[in-house]
């Protein structure tokens, strides 16, 4: 039942397009859920949503748990005379991850549907060509004037349409895999909402003064988290995100969550890492550890900017990062159990 509720919640979050800077659609989904649970919330100038929780020990370090609401996508860079759109990435999206498929462009007045296109393969040298953003476009079927009326302009963002995003369950029925277009970081948002629900239902008070935050623009430099940390000055900042599996990183999709030890910007707080590993064992699971040379998180972006002295990043392990991502469904219950134990005891 717990896993079914997680899938249902994740499905609702996945249907909302949230490219960086356009997170308001997801906040419109999150806010009613916070209200239904009986939480008061704040929204700051950066668009972050915050829930403040009093700690049993008011002298313990202020701790922020944060998941970002934005997703990777693309932006319009030029509108051609025939109405086709030229593009560039928003965040770490590669064009070949999208394939040729329906996409939605978020205009200022209306959202339109187009086809993400790569042109004909009927020509010499096409079969082994590396696809770049200069090679792709979106066919809209509309004139420049019609696009203008709908508010589609240079700078308008785009993402895949809601249908087909998932989530999909497959593999062994008793221990399935779950796949969706960019679990990053709807899965983290889902986890924090489930965490808040459990805290309320079981009347659990965190040990330390705590902020649960849903933050903006992680994919473009962590701007929401930076604004939040600059204002709140937390001692501990914990990103609840995911853990990709690039070549050479020994992670397994086996139901165990992962915690980052180092990435391209920062070394994570090793005492926090040890405390989370102990919390996972106490909660009946185990954490994998990861070191990255080409990744970063909201937490390391803050550490690099001098905005959070102690950082951690914990989450699900996923294949196919920045694409159609795959995780083990059981990882989300194990992650939730670890966070519940940690927030209660640390």
The per-residue pLDDT of the chain, averaged, comes to: 96
**Beta partners for 240?**
314
Confidence class for position 237, pLDDT limits 50, 70, 90: very high
Q: Which of 220, 219, 224, 93 has the alpha carbon at shortest distance from 159?
A: 93
- Residues 284-301 have a mean pLDDT of 97
pLDDT of residue 130: 81
Task: Say whether 151 sits in a helix, a strand or coil.
Answer: coil
Q: What is the pLDDT of residue 125?
A: 60
User: Taking a C-beta distance cutoff of 8 angstroms, is the pair 187, 242 a contact?
Assistant: yes
Domains 2-71+182-345 and 73-160 share a fold: no
Percentage helix, strand, coil for the chain under 3-state DSSP, each rounded to 5: 30, 30, 40
**Exposed, middle or buried by CB within 10 Å (0-12, 13-18, 19+), for 327?**
buried
Tens of pLDDT along 243-288? 999 999 999 999 999 999 999 999 999 999 999 999 999 999 999 9
Per-residue pLDDT, averaged over 65-84, amounts to: 97
Q: Enter the pTM of the model.
A: 0.95
Give the pLDDT of residue 119: 86
* Tokens describing residue 87: 């593009």
What CATH architecture is 2-71+182-345? 3-Layer(aba) Sandwich (3.40)
Q: How many CB atoms lie within 10 A of CB 242?
A: 26
Radius of gyration of the chain (CA): 20
Nearest 5°: the CA angle 106, 161, 140 is 60
Burial of 40 (0-12, 13-18, 19+ CB in 10 A): exposed
Confidence of residue 121 (pLDDT cuts 50, 70, 90): confident
Percent of the chain past pLDDT 90, that is, above it, reads 94
Q: Residue 339 is encoded by which pair of tokens?
A: 């966070």
328, β-bridge pairs: 177
pLDDT at 2 over 90: no
Strands 63-68 and 288-291 turn out to be unpaired
Q: Which CATH superfamily is domain 73-160 in?
A: Peptidase M42, domain 2 (2.40.30.40)
- Kindly list the domain boundaries of the chain, sorted by start residue: 2-71+182-345, 73-160
- In tens, the pLDDT along 152-163 reads 999 999 999 999
């Amino acid at each position: 039942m717990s896993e079914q509720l997680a899938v249902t919640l994740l499905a609702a979050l996945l249907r909302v397009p949230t490219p960086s800077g356009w997170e308001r659609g997801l906040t419109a989904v999150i806010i009613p859920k916070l209200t239904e649970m009986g939480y008061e919330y704040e929204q700051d100038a950066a668009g972050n949503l915050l829930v403040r929780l009093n700690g049993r020990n008011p002298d313990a370090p202020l701790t922020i748990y944060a998941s970002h609401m934005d997703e990777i996508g693309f932006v319009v860079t030029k509108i051609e005379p025939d109405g086709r759109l030229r593009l560039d990435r928003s965040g770490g999206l590669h064009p070949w991850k999208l394939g040729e498929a329906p996409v939605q462009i978020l205009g200022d007045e209306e959202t339109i549907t187009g086809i993400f296109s790569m042109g004909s393969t009927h020509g010499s040298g096409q079969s082994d060509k590396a696809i770049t953003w200069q090679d792709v476009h979106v066919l809209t079927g509309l004139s420049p004037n019609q696009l203008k009326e709908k508010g589609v302009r240079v700078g308008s963002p785009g993402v895949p349409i809601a249908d087909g995003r998932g989530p999909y369950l497959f593999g062994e029925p008793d221990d399935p895999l779950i796949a969706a277009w960019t679990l990053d970081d709807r899965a983290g948002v889902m986890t924090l909402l489930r965490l808040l629900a459990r805290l309320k239902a079981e009347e659990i008070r965190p040990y330390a003064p705590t902020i649960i935050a849903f933050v903006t623009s992680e994919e473009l430099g962590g701007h929401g988290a930076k604004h939040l940390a600059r204002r709140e000055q937390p001692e501990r900042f914990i990103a609840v995100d995911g853990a990709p599996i690039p070549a050479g990183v020994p992670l397994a999709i086996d139901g165990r969550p992962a915690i980052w030890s180092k990435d391209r910007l920062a070394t994570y707080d090793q005492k926090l890492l040890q405390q989370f590993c102990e919390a996972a064992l106490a909660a009946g699971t185990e954490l994998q550890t990861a070191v990255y040379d080409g990744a970063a998180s909201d937490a390391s972006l803050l550490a690099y900017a001098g905005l959070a002295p102690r950082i951690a990043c914990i989450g699900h392990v996923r294949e196919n990062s920045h694409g159609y991502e795959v995780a083990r469904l059981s990882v989300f219950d194990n992650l939730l159990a670890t966070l519940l134990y940690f927030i209660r005891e640390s």
